């Protein structure tokens, strides 16, 4: 098998014949489909770049030459061609190989990634470093048409055109982001538009020229010769050439021979070059070709039928609850509008977009713009909800602070995938939001414990006078019956859920269920723990927290967020400011990046699931007097 040969020695790809390379493409597709059907993963994007990946490794001298993937969700073939065949079955699993390129995993992974639109900037930095130290390696960035919609990509293009470093940017154009691409750039890149325009122009020119009596024929021949440059002028080449790039393409991204030849030529050119490659998302696996959005990032599926192995009939996901609830509230209030940054499916806004097309905005992969755009909407009378994955809001910190909160505008941040997300790993865990939001003045920040509280949070956010953020986890809600009337929350007010005398769990979000279960189990061991859902990280329910500090003298904070600067930190600040001195144990995400795994595995590993809480609290009480020597304990997990 060609793949096995290459696995033992990646440069062996240079010795394969064209037929063997084509067979290799089949082997790669087979392996990618087989593994993702079991593990889940980013199937459609990876299938789309199989030939491109082969061509890159065939033409370049990796790992000396640098391949910089954008987002990195399409890099499965790259992994298989660079010594990770044996471990590929562990893709996205606990202690397995990552779903994204990762420098610590392989020297072939030139740059770690997971968030989009970083490739051009990173590749340019590498090219500048190469020149500074007199190196000779080639640098190639591969960016998708969706990722190109981000401002960051254009910042990279802008500087690259100015620095004129030798580098290649490959635009992998499949006309899709996760969903079909949006925005003016998408229409500009559109194959239909460019080809229609070109054909029409050619036709018009031909009939005008051939109608001229004397020199019409000569002109027609001249025009034919000029066809290539004319085509370049009226295709996306125009855009990239304005940025100082040489534009080559479009090239069929599934024709291996042409692709290798073009890449060979392009990699010898001086200065920045943009190679435009046309690919098909999901190529080679019919269900993914037919439904690339579903197979963008998919859970385990039956590879014969393409049917997703879902837990149908279970409770709705938090994402679905959010989407349905926002629709209900939008029906009653015409000022309610929703914004997504290229993730209408992921954030549960597809139904909203159909129901209220005029009140729904997909801004592309442009989180910073999404937030400032929302600020503009709010400044002019609307009630925008910006629905983003928590991890992607990290991009827009200043926009939240400067454009929304400083002006106290009523913008809502609906932060999906708050906490540990699972298989996507450290690039995607939403475990920093409570820390990076809670110090911003005017912003209320809360984490609902279940779907009823999420509905209440949504309702509250739309009547709040200023900005409001709520974050909720990836995955299924608890399946609670939804009351007919959803009451808004009192901002800054927690709720005591369980009485106890030996200590108090102060929890929020998914931590509440874990604390309740732990308290229940500890009761059986003779320990009486109260449980409070703090709800808000800001404003804190200081009254309730101080009362518990006085009543039980032991506070156990539980959060699925970084311990640094998170909820537990906020409690400590409150206690210090008030001169209160209960014993405090903090449970949360330790000061390191958490790897991939299922959410349950990760919670267990860092010690915030119910069983781990029980064990740690039991140990605390067992230690008795010696533990009293230190007043604050960090529960850091293993
Ligand atoms: C900053 C950021 N926002 C959103 C995402 C989620 N996301 C991952 S891939 C993707 C679509 C990328 O489209 P494209 O670059 O065209 O790649 P394709 O999947 O089409 O190959 C999106 C929106 C992300 N990874 N990073
Ligand atoms: C690569 C990327 O950023 C997205 O595709 C992300 O992996 C989606 O995550 P969910 O599966 O949680 O929607
Ligand atoms: Mg794309």
Q: What global pTM score does this model have?
A: 0.92
CA–centroid distance, residue 566 to ligand 2 (Å)? 24
Domain spans of the chain, in order of start:
2-290, 318-471, 495-635
pLDDT the model gives residue 199? 46
Q: Which of these ranges, 307-311, 330-334, 478-482, has the smallest mean pLDDT?
A: 307-311
Work out the average pLDDT over 370-383.
98
Work out the average pLDDT over 371-382.
98
Q: pLDDT digits over 31-85, tens only? A: 999 999 999 999 999 999 999 999 999 999 999 999 999 999 999 999 999 999 9
pLDDT the model gives residue 636? 46
Q: pLDDT digits over 532-574, tens only? A: 999 999 999 999 999 999 999 999 999 999 999 999 999 999 9
- Give the DSSP H or E segment for 45: helix 43-48
Q: Does the pLDDT at position 133 exceed 80?
A: yes
**Token pair recorded at residue 342:** 């290229």
Beta bridge partners of 273: 168, 246
Locate all alpha helices (DSSP H) within 114-150, ordered by sequence: 119-132
CA distance 445 to 144: 34
As for the ipTM of the complex, it is 0.99
Judge if the beta carbon of residue 395 lies within 6 A of ligand 1: yes
Confidence of residue 237 (pLDDT cuts 50, 70, 90): confident
Residue 524 CB burial class (10 angstroms; 0-12, 13-18, ≥19): exposed
Q: Determine the residue of 113, 428, 471, 472 to mutate for testing ligand 2's pocket, defined as the one with the most ligand atoms within 8 A of the Cβ atom.
A: 428
Tokens 């192995």, located at residue: 309
Q: Does the pLDDT at position 384 exceed 90?
A: yes
125 is in an annotated binding site: no
pLDDT the model gives residue 116? 98
In 3D space, the residue among 369, 352, 429 whose CA is nearest the CA of residue 606 turns out to be 429
* pLDDT: which is higher, 231 or 367: 367
Tell me, what DSSP letter sits at residue 341? S
Judge if the beta carbon of residue 115 lies within 6 A of ligand 1: yes
Compute CA distances 338 → 186, 386, 450, whole Å: 21, 6, 22
pLDDT the model gives residue 637? 42
Confidence of residue 186 (pLDDT cuts 50, 70, 90): confident
Work out the average pLDDT over 493-521.
98
CA–centroid distance, residue 591 to ligand 1 (Å)? 28
Tell me, what DSSP letter sits at residue 342? S
Other beta carbons less than 10 A from residue 130's beta carbon = 18
Answer whether 473's CB lies under 8 Å from 560's CB.
yes
Active-site residue numbers?
281, 367, 395
pLDDT the model gives residue 630? 45
Q: pLDDT digits over 404-445, tens only? A: 999 999 999 999 999 999 999 999 999 999 999 999 999 999
626 is in an annotated binding site: no
Beta bridge partners of 446: 470, 536
- Classify 628 in phi/psi space as left (phi over 0), alpha (psi -120 to 50) or beta: alpha
Work out the average pLDDT over 130-138.
98
Tokens 């499916």, located at residue: 345
Q: Does the pLDDT at position 381 exceed 50?
A: yes
Q: Does the pLDDT at position 493 exceed 70?
A: yes
Q: Does the pLDDT at position 212 exceed 70?
A: no
429 is in an annotated binding site: no
Where b means 16+ CB within 10 Å and e means fewer, 281-312 reads: bbbbbebbbeebbbbbbbeebeeeebeeeeee
pLDDT the model gives residue 205? 45
Confidence of residue 232 (pLDDT cuts 50, 70, 90): very low
Helix axes 256-266, 50-59, angle to 10 degrees: 40
Cis amide linkage into residue 586, ω under 30° from 0: no
pLDDT the model gives residue 191? 59
Work out the average pLDDT over 612-635.
73
Work out the average pLDDT over 76-98.
98
Work out the average pLDDT over 616-626.
84
Cis amide linkage into residue 212, ω under 30° from 0: no
Regarding the domain with residue range 318-471, which homologous superfamily does it belong to in the CATH classification? Thiamin diphosphate (ThDP)-binding fold, Pyr/PP domains (3.40.50.970)
Other beta carbons less than 10 A from residue 97's beta carbon = 20
Q: What average pLDDT is seen over the chain?
A: 92
Tell me, what DSSP letter sits at residue 395? G
Nearest atom (ligand 1) to Cα of 178: 11
Q: Does the pLDDT at position 238 exceed 90?
A: no
How do beta strands 529-533 and 583-589 pair? unpaired
Work out the average pLDDT over 459-483.
96
Work out the average pLDDT over 484-505.
96
Judge if the beta carbon of residue 144 lies within 6 A of ligand 1: yes
In 3D space, the residue among 598, 596, 614, 608 whose CA is nearest the CA of residue 638 turns out to be 608
Compute CA distances 286 → 29, 33, 303, 305, 638, whole Å: 12, 11, 10, 10, 43
- Measure CA 29 to chain center: 24
In 3D space, the residue among 276, 278, 279 whose CA is nearest the CA of residue 247 turns out to be 276
In 3D space, the residue among 181, 162, 179 whose CA is nearest the CA of residue 171 turns out to be 181
**Token pair recorded at residue 349:** 């806004």
CA–centroid distance, residue 73 to ligand 1 (Å)? 8
Confidence of residue 187 (pLDDT cuts 50, 70, 90): confident
Residue nearest to atom 13 of ligand 2 (CA): 346
What is the second-level CATH architecture of the domain 495-635?
A: 3-Layer(aba) Sandwich (3.40)
Residue nearest to atom 8 of ligand 2 (CA): 297
Rounded to 5, what percent of the chain is helix, strand, coil? 45, 15, 35
pLDDT the model gives residue 410? 98
Work out the average pLDDT over 572-596.
97
pLDDT the model gives residue 124? 98
Sheet of 246-252: strand order equals 66-69, 139-144, 167-173, 272-278, 246-252
Q: Does the pLDDT at position 168 exceed 90?
A: yes
Answer whether 607's CB lies under 8 Å from 613's CB.
yes
Domains 2-290 and 495-635 share a fold: yes
The backbone torsions φ and ψ at residue 350, rounded to the nearest 5 degrees and listed phi first, read: -60, -50
Confidence of residue 498 (pLDDT cuts 50, 70, 90): very high
Helix axes 119-132, 151-163, angle to 10 degrees: 30
Fold designation for 2-290 = Rossmann fold (3.40.50)
Q: Does the pLDDT at position 137 exceed 80?
A: yes
């Amino acid at each position: 098998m060609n793949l096995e040969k290459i696995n033992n020695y990646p440069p062996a790809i240079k010795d394969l014949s064209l037929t063997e390379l084509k067979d290799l493409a089949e082997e790669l597709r087979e392996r990618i489909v087989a593994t993702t059907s079991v593990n889940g993963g980013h199937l459609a994007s990876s299938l789309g770049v199989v030939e491109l990946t082969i061509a890159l490794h065939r033409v370049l001298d990796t790992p000396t030459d640098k391949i910089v993937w954008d987002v990195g969700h399409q890099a499965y073939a790259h992994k298989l061609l660079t010594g990770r065949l044996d471990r590929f079955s562990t893709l996205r699993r606990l202690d397995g190989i990552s779903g994204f390129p990762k420098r610590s995993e392989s020297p072939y992974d030139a740059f770690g990634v997971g968030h989009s639109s970083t490739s051009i900037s990173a590749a340019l930095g590498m090219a500048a470093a190469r020149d500074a130290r007199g190196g000779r390696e080639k640098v190639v960035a591969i960016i998708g048409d969706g990722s190109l919609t981000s401002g960051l990509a254009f910042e990279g293009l802008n500087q690259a055109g100015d620095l004129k470093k030798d580098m290649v940017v490959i635009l992998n154009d499949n006309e899709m982001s996760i969903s079909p691409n949006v925005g003016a750039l998408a229409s500009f890149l559109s194959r239909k538009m460019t080809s229609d325009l070109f054909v029409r122009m050619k036709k018009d020119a031909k009939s005008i020229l051939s109608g001229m009596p004397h020199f019409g024929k000569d002109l027609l021949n001249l025009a034919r010769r000029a066809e290539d440059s004319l085509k370049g002028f009226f295709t996306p080449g125009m855009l990239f050439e304005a940025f100082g790039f040489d534009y080559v393409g479009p090239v069929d991204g599934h024709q291996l021979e042409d692709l290798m030849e073009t890449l060979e030529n392009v990699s010898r050119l001086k200065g920045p070059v943009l190679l435009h490659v046309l690919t098909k998302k999901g190529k080679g696996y019919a269900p993914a070709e037919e439904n690339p959005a579903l197979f963008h990032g998919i859970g385990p599926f039956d590879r014969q039928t393409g049917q997703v192995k879902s837990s149908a009939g279970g409770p709705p996901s938090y994402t679905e609850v959010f989407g349905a609830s926002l629709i209900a509230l939008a029906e009653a209030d015409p000022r309610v509008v929703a914004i997504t940054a290229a993730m209408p499916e992921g954030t549960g806004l597809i139904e909203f977009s159909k129901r209220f097309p005029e009140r729904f905005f997909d801004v592309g992969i442009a989180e910073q713009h999404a937030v400032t755009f929302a600020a503009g909407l709010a400044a002019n009378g609307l009630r925008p909800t910006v629905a983003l994955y928590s991890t992607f809001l990290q991009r827009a910190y200043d926009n939240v602070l400067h454009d929304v909160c400083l002006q106290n505008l009523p913008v809502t941040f609906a932060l999906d995938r708050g906490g540990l997300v699972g298989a996507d790993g450290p690039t995607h865990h939403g475990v920093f939001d409570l820390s990076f939001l809670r110090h911003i003045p005017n912003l209320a920040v809360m984490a609902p414990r279940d779907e009823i509280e999420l509905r209440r949070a949504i309702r509250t956010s739309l009547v709040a006078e200023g900005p409001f953020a709520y974050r909720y986890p990836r995955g299924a809600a608890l399946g609670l019956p939804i009351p007919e009337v959803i009451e808004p929350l009192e901002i800054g007010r927690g709720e005591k859920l369980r009485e106890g005398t030996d200590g108090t769990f102060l929890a929020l979000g998914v931590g509440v269920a874990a604390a309740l279960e732990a308290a229940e189990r500890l009761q059986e061991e003779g320990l009486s723990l109260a449980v409070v859902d703090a709800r808000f990280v800001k404003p804190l329910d200081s009254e309730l927290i101080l009362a518990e500090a006085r009543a039980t003298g032991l506070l156990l904070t539980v959060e699925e967020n970084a311990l640094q600067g998170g909820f537990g930190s906020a409690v400590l600040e409150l206690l210090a400011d008030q001169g209160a001195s209960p014993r405090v144990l903090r449970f949360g995400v330790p000061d390191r990046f958490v790897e991939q795994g299922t959410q349950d595995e990760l919670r267990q590993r860092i010690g915030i699931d119910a069983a781990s809480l029980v064990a740690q609290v039991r140990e605390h009480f067992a230690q008795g007097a010696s533990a009293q020597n230190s007043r604050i304990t960090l529960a850091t997990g293993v």
